[in-house]
Amino acid sequence: MTSSADKSVCVTGASGYIGCWLVKYLLEQGYTVHATVRDLNRKTEPLKRLAEEHASQGGQLVLHQANLLDAESFNEPIKQCSVVYHTASPFQISKSRESGQKRFIDPAVRGTENVLRACLRPETRRTLRRVVVTSSIAAVTGFYDQKHGNPVPTYDETDWNTTSTPQNDPYSFSKTAAERRAWELAHAPENRDKSWDLVTILPGFVLGPSLTTETESGSVEFMRELLGGRLALGVPAWQQSIVDVRDVALAHLRAGSDKKRVPSGRYIVVAGYKSILEVASAVRAEWGQRFRLPQRELPKWLMYLAGPFIGLPWEMIRHRVGIPICFNVAKSKTLLGMEYRGVDLTIREHVQQMIADGLVPLQR
């Protein structure tokens, strides 16, 4: 029988792109969700609406204010929970004057460390049974040609990103450093007496409909730029490993709720592959000329010239543009039972949501 303690969980970054869907699924199954947000006065209405919609299933929502860089702010929401889902992490692609260290690396690494240290406090280290951390395929490889393959290099959960640096790709470096820190803390000799183990979920480029119009996500921002015509002159030949946000949330749910069948470890979640131009083509197939979409790929030499002006380091262009990549997702299918949505469906429903919410303009 499931106890009330087993039905009490914590979701960090609950108002985020992935976090919101995870909260929805947990409430549907009657969990009490201790949801952390950066500001209790902002972006909480979608979460409150979800709680109201699923009250009949027994789910309850408890909101907490917490900051990734505040070591004490996660103590209360995590206390007496059986599972912690750490989804909070920075991922924005718009231009910023902040350094990669301040914008990505510090929040990701210190935030993960702060959350896990809250999980190791005396009142929590013996009541928790699992911690699920959102990582990324960016922690698997930075350069697409980091290793060789015939005809395409295939990466799996044994691979780690050894090529990204704070200078050439601070986002990927931050995901790698944060996940490594999580495993260091989970496996530290002084923490052997803890009752919980660790699972990390490594999604590809996350697309799909958002439950909020205010999500600060690089994925959502990319779609707004694509549909808004900012990439209409052309795009790099850059392949994306895509997965639906709903499948990512479901992978988290299954990893946290079924410890007996899902062992501790890393799990790559990727549904399929499309270049940026192919994403645009999928949109055009449904909406025709209603959006100003790119119709050509820019030559690599031109990307080298434009790179410094659009925030793409030469090293990233050299080792990603025009280079195919593949990820082995057998582990997620076998142990998490994942049956991934088709990428075209994901793109179509993402665009439908953005149109319905008035986030992108349709041309007549």
Query: What is the Cα–Cα distance from 133 to 188, expressed in whole angstroms?
Result: 17
260 is catalytic: no
Cα 183 from chain centroid? 18
User: Could you tell me which residues are beta bridge partners of residue 8?
Assistant: 32
Burial of 230 (0-12, 13-18, 19+ CB in 10 A): exposed
Which one of the listed residues 7, 43, 175, 274 is annotated catalytic? 175
Residues ≥6 apart with Cβ < 8 Å to 170: 99, 100, 101, 103, 104, 105, 164
Q: Nearest-CA neighbor of 209 among 24, 338, 58?
A: 24
**Which has the closest alpha carbon to 80: 186, 5, 29?**
5
| Bond from prior residue into 189 cis (ω within 30 degrees of 0) | no
The closest alpha carbon to 255, from 4, 61, 1, 11, belongs to: 11
Residues forming the active site:
175
